[in-house]
Structure 1
Amino acid sequence: MFKSKKTAWLTIVALLVPTTAGLFGSSAAQAADVPTTLSTFTVNGTDVLTSNTLSVDVATLNVSETGVLSADVVATATDTANTTVTITGDSGLAVGPNTLSVSVVASWTEQVQNPNYVPARTEANPAYVAEVQDNPETTEVNEYAPAQGEPTITYPAQGTEYTTESRTASQTYTRTINVLNNDTGSVITVNEEEVTNGDGVEVDWGTLSVPVTVTPSDSNATVKVNGTSVGLVSGVARTSATGLTTGENTISVVVTAPNGEIDESLLTVTVLPNTDASAVITIDGIIAEDGDEVPLDFGSTDPDIEVYTADEDATYVVDGGSDLIPGENRVEIFVTAADGVTVQIFRLTLLVQLDNDTTAAIYVNGVERSEGDEIVLPYQT
């Protein structure tokens, strides 16, 4: 069969062009779009997706048999199928700030191009000898020679074009749980005496104020004394209860725990009555002291006795001082202080002068005569 060399050459050229299959195929698979966001994030039912801090009443926390505090934390990933959620810090809570962490880890696989992949290829066979046709322009015969070998060699692909690799991404959400104590306990002193609700202290008469200290068990608690807020310095609230009057005075101490719970203690400060039983005594305007002898004119029977007690709440009783007779008259004045116990006795002697009138009416034979009169009497009278 006759075949031109031109045809054979063109065939060879076509076979020598390497294939592009596998070299310019589709690119590596893109990373999977797996979000690490949360769709739900609550602590004890309160949404904390957009807040960094949450205050929680200690009384609302879970308490284990061993006294471990924990909160109910719900954290749900947006993609629940390809993510895992890990919660730490929801247990072992203590009063004050606590750190809560939620970690969202996304996992997926990607098809990536294999750097070791060698695609299938076809190359010219260097050992190939094309067939030789008879040349009609020559007289030589038997020039024809068959082809030796194959014009190309095909090499198979080595490895796989793409490999599967695992990928992960993570995001951590951190929140501060501020556990508020419900402890309203405190140590209270009034006038340096430790007291509890319902207790009272006694102070001397005339006391107008007493010091008050309140030491809450929790230094974050607040204190009010008689309705006025008192700040804590080194954990102690110091103030004074003022405006005290004689008798009972009530002091209100309110301790508010960080969680808002309130405890009120009502205390009593009793200002004792005055014990002053002193007094100033006047007799007809003359000041007299205990033991004095007070002279009075003859004829005095009911002198004006005035008692001015030093304390307006003191009382007095005057024993004697009326229906006087000439000479000595005993008077006792009993002054009782406001306490009802203290008594002072003032003992006085009222000296009513004796009559010093020496005048007399003289009658002679029934006729009143005066000094110096001459009286003529009958003979032998």
Structure 2
Amino acid sequence: MRTWLEINLSNFRWNIKSLQKKIGNKKLIGVVKGNAYGMGAVRLTKELKKCGVDFFVVATVEEGIELRKENIDDNILILGGVFNEELKMAEKYNFQIALTSLDQLEYINKSKLNIKCHLKLETGMGRVGFNNFEIDQLMKYVEKNKMKNIIGVYSHLSVADEAGKENENYTKEQIRKFNDFQGMETIKYRHLLNSGGILKYCGQDNGNYVRAGIIQYGICGEKYIDGFKPVVSLKSRILFLKILMEDSDISYGRTAHLKKGDMVATISAGYADGFKRSISNKGFVFIDGIKCPVTGRVCMDMFMVKIPNNLANRVKVGDEVILYGENILEVAKLCNTISYEIFTGISRRVKRIYVE
């Protein structure tokens, strides 16, 4: 293999069991959207099932169908919204959907579609959902038409994983708004807490389910969580080695300059695999435990590193290279982004390898 993503299933299950202990009598919803944050939605959903999880969240109808085709017949909620033309497909595959407008509820009713819905409340995310003044209108419509479609209610915390008193107060206000929803106790599925919320607000009365996303991989708020274990490593191999015969410029744009006698390794991965171009000339990888700086611009399918002198006498073509591992948070910071984007940016052409 040229490049592969290694997922430690034992560590993954450890994290899930740790979460289940933390949430007490609440139940866990496994968030497997974005191909389970890049880790492989089908396999990790099956691992979650082994841990007793029977409710899953995806972002799109297509993501849900991928799971159904693998005989995963548990609750699946399409959290990213569904267009009206997708509703028949959602009904066919027995998906639950996030409801964000009265117009869509009216469409479901008039089309006589048997689709279960989770009502999205706007509590402060500013993305989608019903504001307070819209709720009464919606509930009156539900009662008038004797609809039984609403089986869930949820909202989303926007700064639960961020520090500071102001963010804490904002989150508490979101929780209050959620809990103020009338008729909450009669709805089967009530979920508000995301990864950050689970860590800080799980002891409060704020629903009977929680949604576990990035926390499944031992990370939240761009920090590793005490007591959780890292799950993911992106690995590749040395494709080519050379010792420079003269002072040389490296890669596109001539942004790196090395000296005669320096050793350069070409690695068989690039930004088409998910190794970010923005890490050019400032990141590093590990070869045999030694840091090797990324040298020159990352190409689509390859990039170069300078081999330190203390590694030069034992490195060879084919050697394993760790691109992202426990340094994933540092990588994200270097790229001026977050770990979510690094994880989900690992392309489908990178083979997922599952280890115990």
TM-score range relative to shorter protein:
under 0.3
State the structure with bigger RCO (CA 8 A, min sep 6), 1 or 2: 2
Between Structure 1 and Structure 2, the one with more helix by share is 2
Between Structure 1 and Structure 2, the one with more strand by share is 1
Q: Which is higher, the Rg of structure 1 or of structure 2?
A: 1
Give the TM-score normalised by the residue count of structure 2. Answer: 0.23
Give the TM-score normalised by the residue count of structure 1. Answer: 0.22
